[in-house]
Structure 1
Amino acid sequence: MVNFNVRFPDDLHARVRAQATADRRSINSEILHLIEVGLGTVTSDAPDRPGGDPASPAPLRGGPDSSPS
């Protein structure tokens, strides 16, 4: 992973922080999401939901208990 420092104007930082809070993400995760949406990597409708269904839970991401039984 690459470390990348960016300077944000105060008002833009406040907007990103508010959106991250609303989406229950860290500011870093929100910025990555917004870049992915902007580049067309994910859709903005329901990026973390399989099939775009907002009622479906997001898939679990790898962890110590994520291996198949």
Structure 2
Amino acid sequence: MEPETRLTLRLPSDVHTRLTDKAKTARRSLNAEIVYRLESSLRNEAELPSDPSDRRDSL
């Protein structure tokens, strides 16, 4: 098991509500939902070209 770091996080109420709803739908805890979404975002970011001029959306 990987080491964990505790973090206090402030979220706007509407973001908290949306994340809680998504977590319930996915049958995950709020913590697991946040970790899932952060990991997904970081994975997607790693797949983007490092040079912004190489990105398809810049056309």
TM-score when normalising by structure 2:
0.67
Which entry has the higher C-alpha Rg, 1 or 2? Answer: 2
What letter is aligned with 1:33?
Y
Spell out, residue by residue over 1:7-66, the C-alpha distance to the aligned partner (whole angstroms, 9 max, x if none). Answer: 01000000000000000000000000000000017xxxxxxxxxxxxxxxxxxxxxxxxx
Q: SS at 1:40's partner residue?
A: helix
Q: Which residue is 1:24 aligned to?
A: 27
- CA RMSD in angstroms comes to 1.1
TM-score by length of 1: 0.57
State the partner residue of 1:54: none
- Tell me, which stretches of 5 or more residues in structure 1 are unaligned? 42-69
Where is the helix percentage greater, Structure 1 or Structure 2? 2
Larger relative contact order (CA 8 Å, sep ≥ 6): 2
